Amino acid sequence: MAKCYIIACVVCGKLFDATGRNAITCSSACRVWLKCHPEYSQFLHEICRKLEATPFDMLRAEAARFLRPDFDSRIASGELTWKDFQTEMACVLEEFAIKEAGGILS
């Protein structure tokens, strides 16, 4: 079974389940937009190079800050690992999706 990660789309900011660490867009429309705007991609990679982080890790952190801003310091301190936090993020994302759908699970 492939691993699944919750990250924010680099183009639109929407949270989505990424099945690979090379995913940075949520849809084909966002992939096309990014392909048509190479300067955006170059800018992102330059920031990541300076921060010594991958785009994937930055987008995963963005999703974490959105879903559980209270966990930011616990992750930064090493109290929580990404593996520990990923399960929590999945639960919070599911709760958020149900709330957005009006409390109806289909």
Residue 84: pLDDT band by 50, 70, 90 thresholds?
confident
pLDDT per residue as tens digits for the range 62-83: 888 888 888 777 777 878 776 7
For residue 24, what pLDDT is reported?
92
Is residue 45 one of the residues assigned to a domain? Answer: yes
For residue 33, what pLDDT is reported?
95
Question: If phi over 0 gives left and psi between -120 and 50 gives alpha, with beta otherwise, what is residue 13?
Answer: left
Average pLDDT of the chain is 82
Domain that holds residue 34: 5-100
Q: Is the pLDDT of residue 58 over 90?
A: no
- Number of domain units in the chain: 1
Q: Is the pLDDT of residue 39 over 80?
A: yes
Is residue 82 one of the residues assigned to a domain? Answer: yes
Is residue 106 one of the residues assigned to a domain? Answer: no
Distance CA(52)–CA(100), nearest Å, equals 35
Is residue 54 one of the residues assigned to a domain? Answer: yes
Distance CA(25)–CA(47), nearest Å, equals 17
Is residue 44 one of the residues assigned to a domain? Answer: yes
Residue 104: pLDDT band by 50, 70, 90 thresholds?
low
Q: Rg of the chain's alpha carbons, rounded to an integer?
A: 15
Is residue 105 one of the residues assigned to a domain? Answer: no
More confident residue, 105 or 93: 93
Is residue 57 one of the residues assigned to a domain? Answer: yes
